[in-house]
């Protein structure tokens, strides 16, 4: 289905051919090909419920470069706090309902980007991705996912562009996506989206995580559909030793244990027991000279050593840079 005027929530809802066209266009933008100002006269609201360095900077810059106007709203700070529960009796802290806020924004702007991390309090609510779906439900203009509970599709597109850039292709690339240690329980959005996009683009992915840290079953269902289309397998293992040998790409990311919602102190003890999942040069030495990837922000010397992230095979800044170009391509296609 073409991207024009559509919501963009996850890559698995898009055709591979449309995503490939986006990446080709992103490469053209990166090489300085900007013939016109496709967003002239258009404006995009960027709604942030959570902090950001890369997403905010690249969206604001990309929109301006394309001739449009970005309007950034930090919810609960200079913008009102938002209630998203249907039928809520709003006699507590939240000032405005999402249905009013989104209907109003739809009358001002041509698209709305939303960053809404999971609250990590209710597994059911986070797995339902309720906040971004609330925006989708009440908006008359396209909603762009700037990272929700479940997905970070712009990061995944930049990661795929980076693999393509470094290897010349994605099909058949052996990718090890590994869980990494971290002092806090983090969302699964980045690994979910990277796994989906890598499967969609024909990578041979091995997902490695300790047994207590699976990704959501719903995501694996979507991944299996991509595997059926690409014909490339996705393996799930419980050790890095099974994932790293021969890999062309190592992607490190931490996430919290789905079975421990509301019991994060208990989970922390288990998480702390896996400090040896840090990515080191020694572990990278059994790969096929793999590039190292991480979405950033990174916890140095916890998730990976300085040697790995600063080393010659690290592609973390290339991916961060490519966020700008894939998002410009996305904005142009949608608007």
Instruction: Determine the Cα–Cα distance for residues 279 and 253; give it in Å rounded to an integer.
Output: 10
H-helix or E-strand spanning residue 303: none
Using the minimum distance from each CB to ligand CP, give the nearer residue, 44 or 295: 295
Site for ligand CP in 257-316 (CB under 6 A): 295-297
Per the CB < 8 A criterion, the answer to whether 217 and 258 are in contact is: no
Least gap, CB of 58 to ligand CP (angstroms): 8
Q: Which DSSP category does 49 fall into?
A: S
Core vs surface per residue 288-324: b (16+ CB within 10 A) or e? eebbbbbbeebbeeebbbeebbeeebbbbebbbbbbb
Instruction: Determine the Cα–Cα distance for residues 297 and 57; give it in Å rounded to an integer.
Output: 14
Site for ligand CP in 233-252 (CB under 6 A): none
Based on the shown chain and the rule CB under 6 A, indicate whether residue 53 belongs to the binding site for ligand CP.
Answer: yes
Using the minimum distance from each CB to ligand CP, give the nearer residue, 154 or 175: 154
Using the minimum distance from each CB to ligand CP, give the nearer residue, 219 or 295: 295
Based on the shown chain and the rule CB under 6 A, indicate whether residue 322 belongs to the binding site for ligand CP.
Answer: no
H-helix or E-strand spanning residue 105: helix 98-108
Least gap, CB of 113 to ligand CP (angstroms): 11
Tell me which residue of 212, 197, 251 sits closest to 20, measured CA to CA: 197
Tell me which residue of 115, 118, 152 sits closest to 135, measured CA to CA: 115
* Residue 331: strand, helix, or coil: helix
Based on the shown chain and the rule CB under 6 A, indicate whether residue 55 belongs to the binding site for ligand CP.
Answer: yes
Among 145, 155, 206, 322, binds ligand CP (CB under 6 A): 155
Pattern of binders to ligand CP over 8-47, x per CB under 6 A? ----------------------------------------
Among 54, 84, 209, 248, binds ligand CP (CB under 6 A): 54
Interacting residues toward ligand CP by CB under 6 A: 52-55, 147, 155, 295-297
């Amino acid at each position: 289905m073409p991207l024009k005027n559509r919501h963009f929530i996850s890559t698995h809802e898009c055709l591979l051919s449309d995503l490939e066209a986006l990446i080709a266009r992103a490469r053209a933008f990166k090489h300085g090909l900007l013939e016109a100002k496709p967003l002239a006269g258009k404006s995009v609201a960027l709604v942030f419920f959570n902090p950001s360095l890369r997403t905010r900077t690249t969206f604001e810059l990309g929109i301006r470069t394309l001739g449009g106007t970005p309007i950034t709203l930090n919810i609960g700070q200079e913008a009102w706090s938002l209630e998203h529960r249907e039928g809520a009796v709003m006699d507590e802290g939240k000032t405005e309902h999402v249905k009013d806020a989104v209907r109003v924004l739809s009358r001002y702007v041509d698209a709305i980007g939303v960053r809404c991390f999971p609250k990590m309090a209710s597994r059911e609510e986070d797995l339902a991705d309720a906040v971004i779906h609330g925006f989708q439900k009440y908006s008359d203009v396209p909603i762009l996912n700037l990272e929700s509970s479940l997905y970070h599709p712009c990061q995944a597109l930049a990661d795929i562009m980076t693999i393509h850039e470094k290897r010349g292709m994605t099909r058949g690339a052996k990718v090890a996506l590994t869980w990494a240690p971290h002092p806090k329980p983090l969302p699964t959005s980045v690994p979910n989206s990277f796994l989906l996009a890598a499967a969609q683009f024909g990578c041979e992915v091995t997902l490695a995580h300790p047994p207590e840290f699976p990704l959501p079953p719903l995501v694996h269902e979507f991944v299996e559909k991509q595997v059926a289309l690409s014909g490339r397998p996705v393996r799930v293992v419980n050790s890095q030793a099974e994932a790293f040998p021969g890999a062309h790409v190592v992607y490190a990311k931490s996430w919290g244990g789905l079975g421990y919602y509301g019991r994060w102190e208990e989970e922390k003890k288990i998480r702390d027991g896996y400090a040896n999942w840090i990515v080191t040069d020694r572990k990278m030495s059994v790969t096929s000279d793999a590039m190292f990837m991480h979405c950033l922000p990174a916890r140095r010397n916890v998730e990976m050593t300085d040697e790995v992230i600063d080393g010659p095979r690290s592609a973390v800044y290339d991916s961060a840079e490519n966020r700008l170009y894939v998002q410009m391509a996305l904005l142009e296609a949608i608007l």
